Chain A
Amino acid sequence: MNIKVRYFAAFREATGIATEILETSAATPAALFSECSARHAALQNYSASLVAVNDEMSDWETRLTDGDEVLFFPPVAGG
């Protein structure tokens, strides 16, 4: 299936890209993040603390389906 991945803030700087579309069999955002870490060496030093799927805050073990957009958020620091 095809999944669109978006990186924000420190993740975008670590990967050097904001968006990529991956052909993947990753069933969950957690599995997908592992794949992305393998693709981008700089991501290995990070853990994503929050994840969203299709513009809704989500869970690392949510089931992904074809065409989903997954947003990886590094630790947030508002306020």
Chain B
Amino acid sequence: MNGFEITGQPIDVDTLRNYLADRSCGAYVQFDGWVRDHNEGQQVLRLEYEVYEPLAIKEGKRIIIEAIERFGVNNAYAIHRSGLMELSEVAVVVGVSSPHRSEAFDACRYIIDQAKARLPIWKKEYYASGDAEWVNCQRCASTV
């Protein structure tokens, strides 16, 4: 079963790996995105994801299906967190199983890149300085 989920709970990456295990596959590629302790010179203490779930789930499932069709992998699944997160927690995981490694790497890369560009998810970082900012908003300054 391919798919895409949003969860407010810690992500168990081993469960995802076992779920995608497949005897017809010789390759499994997984990408974990972690909460990092710095960004653009600022010390990050924690962060928060705001997710518009109805559309994030719909669009996330589309991305998974596109990757399976485009790269011919057997299976793919991704899970993204919502809400408050602490350092080192898994913010997003993408898993892809395939007979061979090359298309598994390509499909995994495609899924995480498309997810970052297309899903209605916003990240607010909380800094040691006491400030909090929506990431990417320096790019909001251009015109429509």
Residue of A nearest to B121 (CB): A78
Which residues of A are in contact with B by a Cβ distance under 8 Å? 8-10, 13, 30, 33-34, 45-50, 52, 55-57, 60, 71, 73-79
Q: Say yes or no: A47-B140 contact (C-beta < 8 A), given A52-B120, A77-B134.
A: yes
Which residues of B are in contact with A by a Cβ distance under 8 Å? 33, 49-52, 54-56, 58-59, 80, 91-92, 112, 115-124, 134-137, 139-144
Residue of A13, A56, A57, A78 most packed against chain B (CB within 10 A)? A78
Distance, CA A57 to CA B12, complexed state (A): 30
Contact A77 B144 (CB under 8 A): no
**Contacting residues, chain B, for A60 (C-beta < 8 A):** 144
Contact B122 A77 (CB under 8 A): yes
**Contacting residues, chain B, for A33 (C-beta < 8 A):** 144
Contact A76 B117 (CB under 8 A): yes
Q: Say yes or no: A75-B136 contact (C-beta < 8 A), given A50-B120, A52-B55.
A: yes
**Contacting residues, chain A, for B55 (C-beta < 8 A):** 52, 55-57, 71
